[in-house]
């Protein structure tokens, strides 16, 4: 695996690979890689001939009081993991390389609709930052296929909408969430948890499971289900940011008639914000 830091080097290396007929796959990340990221690279290795990963902690998608400065940067360990997973090229640019005129003068991509509720409402500007950097990475690498984790369900929906609306000729793959044995979705932010908080965190997944079983059992009073979930979380010591049952494709609040649902949650454990979701298609057998 080679590691490149500049746009010019990246473009030259990807063009060379494409000119030999290789199908190009992109795995965008912010680094501090865990088994969930490794699974993305492994899946991409199956689909593409030339696998590009990117590591870039994107300032544009962090709010003023968020963890941009403390976000873990672990390049050497990440390189090792990517190499072992079969990545061909790592693009790890500086902020100045990605935003040469500074983030404030950067043209932005805004995706209406799916980006508006949930994390979009709680983290103003977040999805504009994500869509902007992902579209830049798409323009730089020009991949045939790109992969994102389903743990960030709304992010995946925003990227799919952007690709559709801007006619980007890129296949987008959503990869299943990788979980610890106790059910906690893997996330770089899990590293912020104290051992005690880490023990408590799987309650998030249990709340989603409980709501899903109630819905499968015929319950359609979503508000009472999410109120109960809120109580479960606060009893365990978490502070709810949101917990909603939504339509799986539009991410609008679900009605009792909807069959393809997703339950999405964000909650604070101390100062750490964790998110998770559960996709529930009532027309599919369990
Ligand atoms: O999911 C992430 O790690 C980031 O939001 C992404 C897609 C790499 C954009 O910075």
CA angle, 202 then 207 then 211, to 5° = 150
- Residue 63 in domain: yes
* Tokens of residue 154, six digits: 């709304």
- Residue 74 in domain: yes
pLDDT band at 89 (very low <50, low <70, confident <90, very high): very high
Contact, 52 vs 28, CB < 8 A?
A: no
CATH for 260: 3.30.1300.10
Note if 279 is an active site residue: no
The answer to whether residues 34 and 150 belong to one domain is yes
Question: d(Cα 70, Cα 83) in Å, to the nearest integer?
Answer: 25
The answer to whether residues 221 and 106 belong to one domain is no
Determine the 3-state secondary structure of 206 from DSSP: helix
The answer to whether residues 61 and 194 belong to one domain is no
- Residue 62 in domain: yes
Question: d(Cα 9, Cα 150) in Å, to the nearest integer?
Answer: 31
pLDDT of res. 35: 97
The answer to whether residues 225 and 274 belong to one domain is yes
pLDDT of res. 286: 80
The answer to whether residues 29 and 145 belong to one domain is yes
11 backbone dihedrals φ, ψ, rounded to 5°: -60, -40
Give strand pairing partners of 260: 281
Contact, 131 vs 115, CB < 8 A?
A: yes
Q: pLDDT, tens digit, for every residue of 243-264?
A: 999 999 999 999 999 999 999 9
The answer to whether residues 153 and 97 belong to one domain is yes
* Tokens of residue 102, six digits: 């500074």
Quote the domain boundaries for residue 245: 188-278
- Residue 283 in domain: no
Q: pLDDT, tens digit, for every residue of 69-81?
A: 999 999 999 999 9
Q: pLDDT, tens digit, for every residue of 177-223?
A: 999 999 999 999 999 999 999 999 999 999 999 999 999 999 999 99
Q: In what order do the strands lie in the sheet with 50-55?
A: 2-4, 89-91, 50-55, 24-29, 145-149, 171-175
The answer to whether residues 169 and 214 belong to one domain is no
Q: What is the mean pLDDT of the chain?
A: 98
Mutate to test the pocket of ligand 1, among 33, 58, 185 (most ligand atoms within 8 A of CB): 58
Determine the 3-state secondary structure of 74 from DSSP: coil
In total, the chain counts a number of residues equal to 286
The answer to whether residues 130 and 268 belong to one domain is no
How many angstroms separate the alpha carbon of residue 266 from the centre of ligand 1?
17
Q: Which of 34, 37, 126, 279 is catalytic?
A: 37
pLDDT band at 57 (very low <50, low <70, confident <90, very high): very high
Name the closest-CA residue to atom 8, ligand 1.
29
pLDDT band at 285 (very low <50, low <70, confident <90, very high): confident
Question: d(Cα 41, Cα 258) in Å, to the nearest integer?
Answer: 34
How many angstroms separate the alpha carbon of residue 214 from the centre of ligand 1?
32
Q: Of all atoms in ligand 1, which is nearest to the CA of residue 188?
A: 3
Based on the structure, what is the number of domains in the chain?
Answer: 2
53 backbone dihedrals φ, ψ, rounded to 5°: -115, 150
The answer to whether residues 93 and 224 belong to one domain is no
The answer to whether residues 23 and 53 belong to one domain is yes
Q: Of all atoms in ligand 1, which is nearest to the CA of residue 57?
A: 10
- Residue 81 in domain: yes
Mean pLDDT to the nearest integer, 3-10: 98
In this predicted structure, the answer to whether residue 124 has a pLDDT above a threshold of 90 is yes
The answer to whether residues 168 and 34 belong to one domain is yes
pLDDT of res. 51: 99
Q: How crowded is residue 114: how many other Cβ atoms within 10 Å of its Cβ?
A: 24
Helices and strands in the chain: count of H runs, count of E runs: 10, 9
The answer to whether residues 265 and 228 belong to one domain is yes
């Amino acid at each position: 695996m080679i590691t490149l830091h500049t746009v010019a080097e990246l473009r030259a290396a990807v063009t060379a690979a494409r000119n030999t007929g290789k199908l190009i796959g992109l795995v965008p990340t912010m680094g501090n890689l865990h088994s969930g990221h490794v699974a993305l690279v492994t899946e991409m290795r199956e689909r593409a001939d030339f696998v590009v990963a990117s590591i870039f902690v994107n300032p544009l998608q962090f709010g003023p009081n968020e963890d941009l400065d403390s976000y873990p940067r672990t390049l050497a360990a990440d390189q090792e993991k990517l190499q072992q997973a079969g990545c061909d090229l790592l693009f790890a640019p500086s902020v100045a390389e990605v935003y040469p005129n500074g983030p404030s003068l950067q043209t932005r991509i805004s995706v209406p609709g799916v980006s508006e509720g949930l994390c979009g409402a709680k983290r103003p500007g977040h999805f504009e930052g994500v869509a902007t950097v992902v579209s830049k990475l798409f323009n730089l690498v020009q991949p045939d296929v790109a992969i994102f984790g389903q743990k960030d369900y709304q992010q995946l929906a925003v990227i799919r909408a952007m690709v559709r609306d801007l006619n980007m000729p890129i296949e987008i793959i959503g990869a299943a969430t990788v979980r610890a044995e106790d059910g906690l979705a893997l996330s770089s932010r899990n590293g912020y948890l104290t051992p005690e908080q880490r023990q408590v965190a799987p309650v998030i997944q249990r709340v989603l499971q409980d709501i899903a079983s109630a819905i499968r059992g015929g319950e359609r009073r979503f508000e009472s289900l999410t109120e109960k979930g809120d109580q479960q979380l606060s009893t365990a010591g978490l502070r709810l940011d949101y917990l909603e049952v939504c339509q799986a494709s539009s991410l609008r609040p679900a009605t009792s008639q909807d069959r393809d649902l997703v339950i999405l949650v964000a909650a604070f454990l101390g100062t750490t914000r964790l998110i998770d979701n559960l996709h529930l298609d009532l027309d599919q057998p369990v």
